[in-house]
Structure 1
């Protein structure tokens, strides 16, 4: 075992019970690493590999006598089985991993202990999901490019690398230097590469990482797929001795090499661990907006003196680590392919998959884009598929593991007619559409809009709705407010009296609160209660439709996936919302001050702050556990919102207050363990009563 324990936190991983299980895990990891570094099909996703790594590390901690010489805790890629003919000037080591803020702080403290002094500073770079290479320049000319291989030697890919963007054939000055970095595909590269591959009779690439690795190693291919490069290290830089890492990266950027610092992710420099945590968190938030895949952040000591003092193990440097973000590509089983018809008549194939956590969110369905793409990818029910979710991007299926396909798997057959109305399908564009357009789903959307729990329009039942649609009078809810009494009276069995009553009821519905309008619009992943929460939080439809994905997550029960879906739905519904507002339909929740006004007032005027507001006007994160006198569980959560807070269902370090009542369980214990502020439920009830009585109580008063 190495002198410094691996940074993978194995504290909560279960050790293997036998040496056979331990050895089997190592063999599985070797096979996965060999396929990964060779650029072949992924046989194991990152999260599974990391979990096995943690169990191997835990086993070695308990049974050091079992430790194998080729353990992945000791050897880059556990050997990987990769054969290379280019010996590296210095080994291309791997990196240890940390998975949360606590582990990052432990790593930083360990580094400080190893070097015997505070670390002078850190850098934060994107951990790009590509293929590591070493590029050698002699007198400014690119002469050799080699893959990482097993870390000691790699494969010569010089010819293929000459077309890589960001890796110039000639430097701006005639210097001899070795640059190391990552070859990868941007989102645009990946799209173009797949178009080229399909045009030349090949199957689409399963994911950008495999596409990059396969392209870099391919010889005599009939087409040149685009690749990109970002440098993250340099060796033998002339006059580079004593330079910090950040300065060295700036020096090779001046030579014309594209670096991580020059990417959209940047390379923040930090002097404290708190700054480090902030920078890593910020990079995680940018993940889906960079234009290329990253699976974490790489943290390095910036000063060469700190690096020299820390040294390296046989596997990884002690002065650097990778902060792994939740996996954004996983594998799952495709259980069904459903065909959905949208409000505008767009017909889309959707994958139903076995639940899998991707990017920190449990995913059960994913987009298949369009039918042409589905046919090209040849994804079939029963396949093991790759599920990708980067940042706030809607989950997608990028491909299948064809070598695991069942012999009796049946190819998907696209629908001949619209699955909702049975009408003709317009196939002239990539996105197929029902020829009836919005009228295809008008019946369902109008019935939902008029329902008792929505706009409660008496007299607008299914039969009348069918008559209105057949007469061409309505195709969406906003059209209801343009109806004419005389025209409606001409419908079968209506007459002037019935038509008058119906239109009077439609007119009266304009006064319904915003929450009812929102319910009637049928936003996916919302219902009556969620619509009320959204309306109470934002106050007006303008505030809601203008909210970012992050702002939507301030509403109780709205996580990343739901927030993304709601935001996308509101964009699609924007024309109908505008038409409704233009016809005088109420877009305000009575008695609610818009969220932006509340926050602005609370931030500038302490007297405007609610009891559960922070000093900057933001909402406190509050967990209610156990019973609160006089309130049901839902009413307790609603009370948190009424008092200005954000109700949460789980206790974490971000929780700012925990209300504890009778029957409280593990959440109360965890709050005590984390040292969080705790309030007895009777005091919380008293605080609520004071607020509802028109007083101006503060949290400290109770």
Structure 2
């Protein structure tokens, strides 16, 4: 671990630590409302274990170190076989040491390793009698659990009837996906309930709830299967003698969810090095998954290896949880800022007590919109659960409502636009100043003239303020109508600076369509999406003629975003017409327009660059990181991304198993390291410049 471990100083501190851990576990497993996040709980338990190792004669009977996770929960349904927890490792070195100890225990190398994500939910056992789901039981203390069969019918992935009439117990994890969690928050708010802190706690509380006036959907993923008494000798032998990978294939064949259908399916490998590679792959995809994971489970795959290794009272000796760095922490909501964007959108932003998450200090988090604040019942002074993973912008999942003291204050919503004082359009979830782009005219014009849009050199913020104050720029299209006489009349504008600015404006007319589209600031798009739209449609006329169905054929544009983009383009029609009249380029170099027979509804999705066969980067996903040198030194990151796409590739900001190439400049840092871990091709800026030499400006 990179953070400093907690240290227990004496027996009194030890007793207090045990009490705190027991209360936190009890709150979580009984109702899903623990006051400690995973990181804090893990640190506390590791400190308890360290103290106990030095004081073996003073171990308290309530200590969490010798118990199955969930042991604080009461349960009276005996388990068919003990339902154990997993021990943890937190680094490659710790995992290698554990793997070596396992191989010493079984007296030979492990035949194969099974590697799968450690899902962040609640363990349950689902009992099927002759193929019909009859009972759901929580882990409890590992020997008996709580009957939660009332939840049957609310758990996706647990069919009411299997494809075969077998009597088996399927074990796995119940969780809420991100979409299910959002729905749960909305439904709970409608019924006056306090918001859930996060998806894990929501699943834990929902699974046990019997008397709610509403039902919430959850999802199940299997991680084990065993025969029930009376299942038959043949089936029992098949299940107990199967490799773990074969067992999961059998369970999937019965119709039960496994991770096989996800972005992070279970995989079988043969060496410790391959395990580490797979751990890195899963970790790289963590932020993109529609459900939470807090680690990777590594198991000996072969049944014989598992039998030889055996199990302890708390955990099997043949499996380990490789925990990932924490991506959520509890901190305090200090305030809410209201910022007005260039299109007039009024966006709230949470101000947080600084907290370190996933290797960086977080002081702000997204709040999406006012409805989001209301739905989550956020209050100033709340202790809140904050989530962050990789490059994902931190977000507040919900307040930890049971920690409220009564001193928290309601969030003040603006009654007028914070930027200009005009009325606010609250008809949609995202509030907007009624003046729209005119509210933030200076920001809108400055953005359009920026380096990654029209790149008008010499048109800085001070000059834009002069132009707007003088009434010479009511939108950025007016820049192309400026005359020498008008500019010379402005303060500190001499003949040389005027001529230079007019020349820069003239050059801006030739920018590719993607740059012009980005300069328009269409809601729901940015630099990357503007390039995809421009490359797909090739001309502004084609873009303007597209309806929502046609717009959905652009990669990354879904059913919700498409009509917003189409409506926004229609609203921008007068501005686009002014740009056309001014002679601004409205075509994308090298792009091929969609063919007439590419009708929506044929089941395909158009991908930017699909007609780029023969180009040097055709079909490749490229990540650019670090400082560029040589011929690429003066290119901005956006210009590098444009270069990638002109070469037939797809630019990306994050490294994953889908990445084909990483262009690593000076001080490339973590992305280069991740590429090395995943075995992804690396290239220097100089070599990349040679590869795309024909495309360089």
Measure, in 1, the Cα distance between the counterparts of 2:442 and 2:64: 59
2:142 paired with 1:102 = no
Aligned residue in 2 for 1:48:
40
1:650 Cα shift? 13
Q: Is the 8 A contact 2:334 2:353 kept in 1?
A: yes
Measure, in 2, the Cα distance between the counterparts of 1:53 and 1:110: 22
Measure, in 2, the Cα distance between the counterparts of 1:390 and 1:12: 20
Measure, in 1, the Cα distance between the counterparts of 2:676 and 2:96: 19
Alignment deviations for residues 460-501 of structure 1 (CA, whole Å, 9 cap, x no partner): 636523335x56x4434xx35422439x84x99669x98997
Aligned pairs for 1:397-476 within 5 A: 397-444=396-443, 446=445, 455-457=457-459, 461=463, 464-467=466-469, 470=471, 473-476=473-476
2:338 paired with 1:339 = yes
1:444 Cα shift? 4.1
Describe the shift of the 1:598–1:370 C-alpha distance in structure 2 as closer, same or farther (beyond 3 A): closer
Structure 2, unmatched stretches of 5+, are 228-234, 520-527, 536-564, 590-627, 646-659, 678-685, 687-697
2:57 paired with 1:59 = no
- 1:505 pairs with 478, 501, 504, which one? 501
- 1:24 pairs with 16, 24, 36, which one? 16
Measure, in 2, the Cα distance between the counterparts of 1:142 and 1:454: 66
Measure, in 2, the Cα distance between the counterparts of 1:38 and 1:190: 19
- Residues paired across the two proteins, number: 566
Q: Is the 8 A contact 2:195 2:377 kept in 1?
A: no
Measure, in 2, the Cα distance between the counterparts of 1:440 and 1:10: 46
Aligned residue in 1 for 2:294:
295
Describe the shift of the 1:277–1:85 C-alpha distance in structure 2 as closer, same or farther (beyond 3 A): same
TM-score, normalising length: structure 1:
0.70
- 1:210 pairs with 196, 201, 204, which one? 201
Alignment deviations for residues 579-638 of structure 1 (CA, whole Å, 9 cap, x no partner): 89849999x9994288699999xxxxxxxxxxxxxxx99667xxxxxxxxxxxxxxxxxx
Measure, in 1, the Cα distance between the counterparts of 2:461 and 2:409: 48
Aligned residue in 1 for 2:367:
368
Aligned residue in 1 for 2:483:
485
Q: CA RMSD in A?
A: 4.7
Q: Is the 8 A contact 2:342 2:443 kept in 1?
A: no
1:289 Cα shift? 2.3
Measure, in 2, the Cα distance between the counterparts of 1:510 and 1:32: 65
- 1:220 pairs with 184, 202, 211, which one? 211
Aligned residue in 2 for 1:234:
225
1:214 Cα shift? 1.6
1:122 Cα shift? 0.8
1:246 Cα shift? 0.7
Aligned residue in 2 for 1:592:
632
Measure, in 1, the Cα distance between the counterparts of 2:2 and 2:448: 53
Describe the shift of the 1:360–1:474 C-alpha distance in structure 2 as closer, same or farther (beyond 3 A): same
Describe the shift of the 1:88–1:218 C-alpha distance in structure 2 as closer, same or farther (beyond 3 A): same
What SS class does the counterpart of residue 461 from structure 1 fall into? helix
Measure, in 2, the Cα distance between the counterparts of 1:459 and 1:362: 30
Measure, in 2, the Cα distance between the counterparts of 1:585 and 1:653: 34
Aligned residue in 2 for 1:91:
82
1:121 Cα shift? 0.6
Aligned pairs for 1:59-458 within 5 A: 59-77=51-69, 80-236=71-227, 238=236, 239-444=238-443, 446=445, 455-457=457-459
Measure, in 2, the Cα distance between the counterparts of 1:450 and 1:651: 32
Measure, in 1, the Cα distance between the counterparts of 2:385 and 2:357: 10
What SS class does the counterpart of residue 73 from structure 1 fall into? helix
1:185 Cα shift? 1.1
What SS class does the counterpart of residue 189 from structure 2 fall into? helix
Describe the shift of the 1:72–1:279 C-alpha distance in structure 2 as closer, same or farther (beyond 3 A): same
Measure, in 1, the Cα distance between the counterparts of 2:322 and 2:88: 6
Q: Is the 8 A contact 1:485 1:499 kept in 2?
A: no
Measure, in 2, the Cα distance between the counterparts of 1:356 and 1:432: 29
Describe the shift of the 1:113–1:509 C-alpha distance in structure 2 as closer, same or farther (beyond 3 A): farther
Describe the shift of the 1:426–1:389 C-alpha distance in structure 2 as closer, same or farther (beyond 3 A): same
Measure, in 2, the Cα distance between the counterparts of 1:348 and 1:358: 23
Describe the shift of the 1:318–1:582 C-alpha distance in structure 2 as closer, same or farther (beyond 3 A): farther
**Greater RCO structure (CA 8 Å; 6+ sep):** 2
Q: Is the 8 A contact 1:10 1:57 kept in 2?
A: no
1:542 Cα shift? 7.3
TM-score, normalising length: structure 2:
0.71
Q: Is the 8 A contact 1:355 1:362 kept in 2?
A: yes
Describe the shift of the 1:177–1:542 C-alpha distance in structure 2 as closer, same or farther (beyond 3 A): closer
1:350 Cα shift? 0.7
Q: Is the 8 A contact 2:488 2:498 kept in 1?
A: no
Describe the shift of the 1:64–1:324 C-alpha distance in structure 2 as closer, same or farther (beyond 3 A): same
What SS class does the counterpart of residue 240 from structure 1 fall into? helix
What SS class does the counterpart of residue 277 from structure 2 fall into? helix
